[in-house]
Amino acid sequence: MNAATLSPALETVARAELTQLPDWLLVSVNSCPPAGSGVHFWLFRVSRQLLVHMGEEAIFALLKSKVALCGRPVPDREIISQIRNARAFAWHPNCPKAFPRGPDLALAVPLPPVPPAWPEADLEQIRRIVARGGGLCDLTECSPVRFDDDSSHAEEIIDTLLPGNPLLCVGKSQSYFATRRREIWRGCLSRLPFIVPNPMLGVLGYTKVENRPSEHTLEQTACRVYLVVEFDISEYARDGTTPSEWAPLVREWRESSITLADACAALHLHLSTHLPLAAVVDTGGKSLHGWYSAFDQSEERLRSFMDYAVRLGADHATWLRSQFVRLPDGLRDNGKRQVTCYLDPGKAVKDE
């Protein structure tokens, strides 16, 4: 399907196809939201239901007519992309023969496997690990490389963790970033807060959801070199007032003079017995990011490790290869240094 071969008018949709749609689906088709309220997702949601009723050219023509007055120009490419994205998630009826496109769709687009859910945090196991000791001072003391001054060592650390001259995606924020060769970034890293912990394959790719060009995409992120684990444990939820699931543990630790940094360090020390730990970055008083060597590990082994880390309270967001993490010894937007409190060059990838 491409824009050049698709009919541009709603007249290409057979009247019978529209009249045979169920009432609830007709309501959905006629309820395109205004620009800024989810047009992109609406295209996907409606497409996955329409695919069992009509062909893709008819769906394109129908959706094109519906978004015409949404308040923003919707390019043909966006509509086509969302129809294609919907193929793998198309609704499959129990009786495909009862639907015009049911049998073809059932054969052409098998349902994708459902990825396993992330495990719940095991608060009791976390309590036991932290109680065994091994806080932030212990983590720092056992670091093979230690920095005892107040200067940024971002350049030296990145040379250690990502040697050579790879393409690196680095950001001033999660919406303001660029992908350039490591040598182009030289001299700039100490002033920046974010980096993708894996090299990039190319400068430009297309985003998975919106299919738009970007210098930060999963499509152009290479295989894992590091799997970053973040323990971002807080007493309160994001609103600052509602106690989180961690509140009882945090209060216990406080009574025992165990800081959140100590607790996170203990968890990283524990995880380092399961996968080589190359670096730990204090993100500026918020959390600790552990960089675990992943370049010689299978995805199955890494997923098992990440499952275990999530069970110990890690945020599963960093499982995404292209996820931004805190740049070691970079600078937060509030001026705080993201200090690297642990660095083991022996666990880093080698430039071969």
Given 77, 108, 139, which residue is the final one in a domain? 108
Predicted confidence (pLDDT) per residue in 42-74, tens digit: 999 999 889 888 888 888 888 988 998 888 888
What pLDDT is recorded for position 15?
52
Residue span of the structural domain in which 310 resides? 123-347
> Looking at the structure, do residues 299 and 325 belong to the same domain, yes or no?
yes
Tell me which of 80, 108, 136 is where a domain ends: 108
- Cα separations (Å) of 243 from 7, 250, 283, 312, 316? 56, 10, 23, 19, 21
Residues 31, 63: one domain?
Answer: yes
pLDDT score recorded for residue 209: 65
Domain end among 82, 108, 134: 108
pLDDT of 51: 87
Asked if the structure places residue 118 within a domain, the reply is no
Domain at 129, CATH number: 3.90.920
pLDDT recorded at residue 201 = 95
**Per the domain annotation, does 343 fall within a domain?**
yes
Residue 62 sits in the same domain as residue 157: no
Question: CA–CA separation, 119 vs 285, rounded Å?
Answer: 26
Question: Considering the domain boundaries, does residue 237 fall inside one?
Answer: yes
Please report the pLDDT score of residue 257 as a whole number. Answer: 93
Considering the domain architecture, whether residues 160 and 73 belong to the same structural domain is answered as: no
The pTM of the full predicted model, rounded to 2 decimals, is 0.70
182 and 92, same structural domain?
no
pLDDT for res 8: 44
Residues 267 and 154 in one domain: yes
The pLDDT value recorded for residue 6 is: 42
Number of domains in the chain: 2
Q: Is residue 352 part of a domain?
A: no
Bridge partners of 195?
Answer: 170, 325
Residues of the chain with pLDDT under 50: 2-12, 14, 107-112
Residues 278 and 205 in one domain: yes
**Do 190 and 248 belong to one domain?**
yes
Q: Are residues 161 and 278 in the same domain?
A: yes
pLDDT at 24: 86
| Residue 140 resides in a domain | yes
1 lies in a domain?
Answer: no
Residue 116 falls within a domain, yes or no? no
**Residue 220 sits in the same domain as residue 149:** yes
Q: Quick check: helix, strand or coil at residue 17?
A: helix
Tokens of 214: 């970007």
Q: What angle do CA 164, 169, 192 make, to 5 degrees?
A: 100
Length of the chain: 352
What pLDDT score does 174 carry?
Answer: 87
The reply to whether 139 and 204 lie within a common domain is yes
* In a domain? residue 87: yes
> How far apart (Å, rounded) are the C-alpha atoms in residues 230 and 45?
33
pLDDT of residue 191: 96
